[in-house]
Amino acid sequence: MNQHRRIATLFRKYINNECTAEEAAELMTLIRSSRNKSYIQALLDEYIDKSATDGVLYRTQTDRIFQKLNLSCEAKPIEFNSPKPLQLFFKIAIAAILILVSSLTIYIFNFPQKKKDIATVKQAEDVLPGGNKATLVLSDGQQINLGQPAAGSIAEAAVINKSTDGQPVYFAAKNNNLKGFNTVRTPRGGQFQIVLPDGSKVWLNAASSITYPAAFAAGERRVTLSGEAYFEITSLHHNNKKVPFIVESGNQKIEVLGTKFNVNAYDDETGIKTTLIEGKVKVTTENETVILKPNQEFDLGAEGISTKKVDVEPAIDWKNGDFIFADENIQSIMRKLARWYNVKVVYDSEVPEESLSGQISRNRNLSEVLRMLELSGDTKFRIENDSVHISFHKKQ
C-alpha cells in the first residue's frame, strides 16, 4: 500500500472514530511529513466540501477532541449561506483535530507509565488570560477604573451596566451639555465593551484606546483609535441627513454611516488593517480613497496599500473570544499573545520561517495555547516568570 493510500485509510478511520492509538500516531507522523502536505490538503478540501453540502456543518469531531483536552469549543451548528467563505475556519479546525487527536491518544495509551515524559510546554509557572479591564479618562483629567465599580452611575459621563452575557459595559452619557473629550483605555491583558453617546457599540482589544467627544456635534461623529477595536455603528440623522461616523487611526480616516467593521492599528504591527463585516465604509489615506465591501480588508502598510477579499473570522476572533491562527507567522502570533497575556517574548534561537494554524479560546491559560501551537509546528515554548521563551527544533 503506497503512502497516500495509507494516509487516506487512516484519515477515514479517524473521521469515523475508529483510529487506534498506534494508527493515530502513524497518521500524525505522515501528516508532519512535508512530502504529504499537498495530499493532506486535498483530503481536507474533499472532507470540507462533502460536509458542507447540506448547508450546516456540526463541529462534533471538534467538540469531542477539544472537550477531552479541556479546551473551548461550543457544540453548535455553523450556518452557511455559501460554504466557501468559511472553509478556512474548518481547514484550521480539522487540521488541529488531526494533530490533537494523535497527541491525545498517545497520551492515553502511555499513561501512567510514562506520565512524566508527556509534558509539552515547559513552564516554571502558568499565565492566566486577560479580562475586562479599562480606565476612563474624563476631559477634566479624572481617571476611573471601569473594571472595579459595580453596575450603576460612576460619574456624570459614565454608567456601567451588564450586557446580555453578564459582562460589564460602559455607557457614555447622552448629555449634549458635556464638553471636552473622554478616553477609554485598556491595558495589556485587558478588553472592554463601550457604548458611545450616539448608541454605537465599540469593543476594545488589549492595549488599545478610543478618544471621543463627551457630546457629539450635530453634523458629525468623530473618534480617534489606537490599537484594535470592533465597531457596530448606529445610523443617525440630523436635519434629514445621515450623520457620518469617522474613525481616525494613524494616517488613515474611515467614514461610515451604519455598519460593522474591525480596525487593527497597533503601533507594533506592519500596517493598519480595516476589515469590513457588514455595510460599506470609505477609507481615506494621504494618497488614496477606497470604498470597502463586506468581506474585504484594506491594509495600509509601510510598503504601500492593498485591498483584498478575506475570511473575516480571523480578523474578529478576539471579539468573539477566540484565537484563530490561519497560516500565521510566529512573530504575528506572539504579538497577539503578548498583548492578551501581558508577557514578554524572548527568542532563544533564530526566528524560524514557520506558519502555524489553530483555534483555541482566549479564556484558556497561556500554557494551553502554547501547547496547541507546539503540536502544529516545530517551535518549542517555555514560560518563565513573565516571559515566553521560544526556540526552534526541527523534527526528524
Range from 49-53, 183-187, 251-255 carrying the lowest mean pLDDT: 49-53
Cell 488614496 maps to which residue?
A: 288
Q: Hey, which residues does 358 pair with through a beta bridge?
A: 325
* 392: its cell numbers: 526552534
In this predicted structure, what is the pLDDT of residue 110? 39
The pTM (predicted TM-score) of the whole model is 0.73
Label residues 266-294 b or e (16+ Cβ within 10 Å = b).
beeeebbbbbbbebbbebeeeeeebebeb
In this predicted structure, what is the pLDDT of residue 30? 73
User: Taking residues 236-254, what's their average pLDDT?
Assistant: 90
Please give the domain boundaries of the chain with CATH numbers for all domains: 3-117 (no CATH), 131-315 (2.60.120.1440), 320-392 (3.55.50.30)
| Confidence category of residue 275, pLDDT binned at 50, 70, 90 | very high
What is the Cα–Cα distance from 344 to 200, expressed in whole angstroms? 34
**Strand, helix or coil at 118?**
coil
Cell 477579499 maps to which residue?
A: 309
In this predicted structure, what is the pLDDT of residue 25? 66
In this predicted structure, what is the pLDDT of residue 41? 66
In this predicted structure, what is the pLDDT of residue 17? 64
Burial of 373 (0-12, 13-18, 19+ CB in 10 A): buried
Half-sphere exposure of residue 165, counting CA atoms within 13 Å on the CB side? 5
What is the Cα–Cα distance from 204 to 132, expressed in whole angstroms? 10
| Confidence category of residue 163, pLDDT binned at 50, 70, 90 | low
Q: Are 213 and 200 in contact (CB under 8 A)?
A: no
Please state the separation of Cα 368 from the chain's center in Å: 16
The tens digit of pLDDT for each residue in 331-373 reads 999 999 999 999 999 999 887 777 887 778 899 999 989 988 8
